[in-house]
């Protein structure tokens, strides 16, 4: 794919840097292609897209680039600050998982430092802002109490009782008393949580061992990592180049990837289109070295190509820090290949209550049917305000 589809030369430069990794067959832009670039924008966009460590590595390996000195210093400073933060977060993750294990709670690190170590074997090479830990649903109350006792507080000021939380949500958010670290406990993988294959217990059963800063911790299998990365990225219209880069490196470096198995599972769950989209983007944008059969399938699917076009436009939106929620809903609907999944998505969106509904109107469990009436009105009001802000 030609990078000319991206209007800003700075985004094309970032993508060229990502494509210049060893084995991808691309070279860094020549001096003429760098004239007139907004280097402050490149730094900001690299951070926003979660690719700053990779841009730093690509540019620091080429001494002849003659980059602006202020940019080089700011890039180096941002990378070092991120590496220090990642090391701090990793130490905290290991402390928390030790506490949970000592309390008899099965816990698996998810995303964050664990994914950085799994994909890059280097925790400094992936940006993350919080710590994610997978637990089983019945352990929520106990795990929450263990972490609260270790210097944390709930992130929400008002929250329902545990049973309601498990029923309405899929994650529980906490933060350190000083606000320095945020933690999320996950007990359901949304939207993959409707399958017994993707329950925490089943994912834990397929876990492998991972070396994380000299410690051995459980880590999801390569197939589960790739599938969940595809589902998560698709649920956010792949708004960050870093997620696509993660997918590319994960797909092209894991010799133990069982491609037939993961394609079969994705099809059974109704996520084949989402999965092929992830691989299409990795191939198209990052020149991922995929198995030929997989690459051909990802390139030749017309529905996947249509979704990719939406992603390319979304990556160029004027305010990348602001999510387009209505577009996310439409994209999620487009990404479902089975009619029953599209119907389930629409019904669930329209009438199934969420924690946001409970926070607006706290009701006891016996009055939950009232949320089927409240939710449509809340969503209508919410989207009216979003549309009004856009016009303003």
312-325 residue pLDDT tens:
999 998 777 777 88
CB atoms within 10 A of CB 80: 12
Q: What share of the chain has pLDDT > 90, as a percent?
A: 67
Judgement on whether residues 205 and 241 belong to the same structural domain of the protein: no
Judgement on whether residues 142 and 182 belong to the same structural domain of the protein: yes
Judgement on whether residues 212 and 229 belong to the same structural domain of the protein: no
From the CA atom positions of the chain, what is the Rg in Å?
Answer: 22
Instruction: Assign 142 to helix, strand or coil.
Output: helix
Position 53 in a domain: yes
Position 202 in a domain: yes
DSSP string, 259-287: HHHHHHHHHHHT-HHHHHHHHHHHHHHH-
Judgement on whether residues 198 and 277 belong to the same structural domain of the protein: no
pLDDT in tens, 104-137: 999 999 999 999 999 999 999 999 999 999 999 9
Judgement on whether residues 113 and 189 belong to the same structural domain of the protein: yes
Judgement on whether residues 115 and 193 belong to the same structural domain of the protein: yes
* Cβ contact 157:208 at 8 Å: no
Q: What is the distance between the alpha carbons of residues 328 and 285, in angstroms, rounded to a whole number?
A: 21
* From 14-23, 32-41, 185-194, 280-289, the region with the lowest mean pLDDT: 185-194
Residue 193, pLDDT score: 43
Looking at per-residue pLDDT, the higher value among 150 and 353 belongs to 150
**Tokens found for residue 145:** 């109490």
Judgement on whether residues 282 and 309 belong to the same structural domain of the protein: yes
pLDDT at 151 over 90: yes
- Using the 3D structure, point to which of 218, 235, 256 is the last residue of a domain: 218
Judgement on whether residues 188 and 234 belong to the same structural domain of the protein: no
Judgement on whether residues 128 and 173 belong to the same structural domain of the protein: yes
pLDDT at 31 over 80: no
Do strands 215-219 and 208-212 pair parallel, antiparallel, or not at all (unpaired)?
Answer: antiparallel
Position 311 in a domain: yes
pLDDT at 169 over 90: no
Residue 291, pLDDT score: 94
Judgement on whether residues 111 and 205 belong to the same structural domain of the protein: yes
Residue 32, pLDDT score: 46
Average pLDDT, the chain: 89
Position 90 in a domain: no
Domain count, the chain: 3
Judgement on whether residues 213 and 274 belong to the same structural domain of the protein: no
* Cβ contact 229:278 at 8 Å: yes
Residue 156, pLDDT score: 81
Judgement on whether residues 227 and 214 belong to the same structural domain of the protein: no
Position 368 in a domain: no
Give the domain CATH number at 131. Answer: 3.30.460.40
Residue 387, pLDDT score: 63
CB < 8 Å & 24+ apart, contacts of 127-130: 127/47, 127/50, 127/51, 127/52, 127/53, 127/82, 127/242, 128/86, 128/89, 129/182, 130/181, 130/182, 130/183, 130/184
Position 77 in a domain: no
pLDDT at 251 over 50: yes
- Residue 194: which domain range? 105-218
**Tokens found for residue 348:** 């669930």
- Using the 3D structure, point to which of 281, 306, 325 is the last residue of a domain: 325
Position 386 in a domain: no
């Amino acid at each position: 794919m030609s990078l000319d589809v991206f209007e800003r030369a700075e985004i094309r430069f970032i993508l060229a840097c990502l494509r210049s990794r060893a084995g991808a067959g691309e070279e860094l832009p020549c001096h003429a292609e760098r004239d007139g670039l907004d280097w402050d924008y490149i730094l900001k966009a690299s951070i926003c897209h979660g690719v700053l460590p990779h841009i730093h590595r690509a540019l620091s390996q080429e001494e002849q680039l003659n980059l602006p000195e202020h940019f080089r210093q700011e890039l180096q400073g941002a990378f070092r600050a991120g590496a220090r933060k990642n090391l701090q977060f990793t130490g905290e993750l290991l402390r928390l998982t030790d506490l949970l294990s000592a309390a008899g709670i099965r816990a698996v690190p998810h995303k964050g430092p664990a994914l950085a170590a799994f994909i890059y074997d280097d925790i400094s090479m992936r940006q993350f802002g919080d710590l994610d830990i997978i637990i089983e649903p019945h352990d929520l109350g106990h795990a929450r109490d263990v972490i609260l006792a270790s210097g944390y507080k709930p992130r929400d000021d008002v929250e329902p009782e545990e049973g309601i939380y498990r029923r309405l949500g899929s994650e529980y958010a906490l933060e350190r008393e000083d606000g320095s670290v945020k933690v999320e406990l996950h007990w359901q993988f949304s939207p993959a949580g409707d399958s017994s294959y993707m329950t925490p217990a089943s994912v834990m059963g397929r876990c492998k061992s991972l070396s994380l800063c000299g410690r051995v911790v459980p880590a999801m299998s390569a197939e589960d990592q790739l599938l969940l990365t595809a589902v998560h990225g698709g649920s956010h219209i792949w708004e960050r180049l870093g997620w696509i880069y993660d997918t590319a490196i994960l797909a092209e470096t894991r010799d133990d990837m069982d491609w037939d198995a993961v394609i079969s599972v994705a099809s059974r769950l109704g996520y084949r289109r989402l999965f092929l989209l992830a691989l299409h983007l990795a191939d198209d944008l990052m020149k991922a070295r995929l198995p030929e059969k997989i690459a051909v399938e990802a390139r030749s699917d017309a529905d996947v190509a249509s979704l990719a076009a939406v992603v390319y436009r979304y990556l160029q939106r004027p305010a990348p820090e602001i999510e387009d929620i209505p577009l996310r809903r439409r994209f999620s609907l487009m990404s479902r290949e089975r009619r029953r999944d599209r119907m389930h998505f629409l019904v669930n969106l329209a009438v199934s209550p969420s924690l946001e509904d409970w926070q607006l109107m706290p009701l006891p469990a016996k009055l939950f049917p009232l949320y089927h009436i409240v939710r449509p009105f809340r969503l209508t009001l919410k989207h009216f305000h979003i549309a009004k802000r856009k016009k303003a």
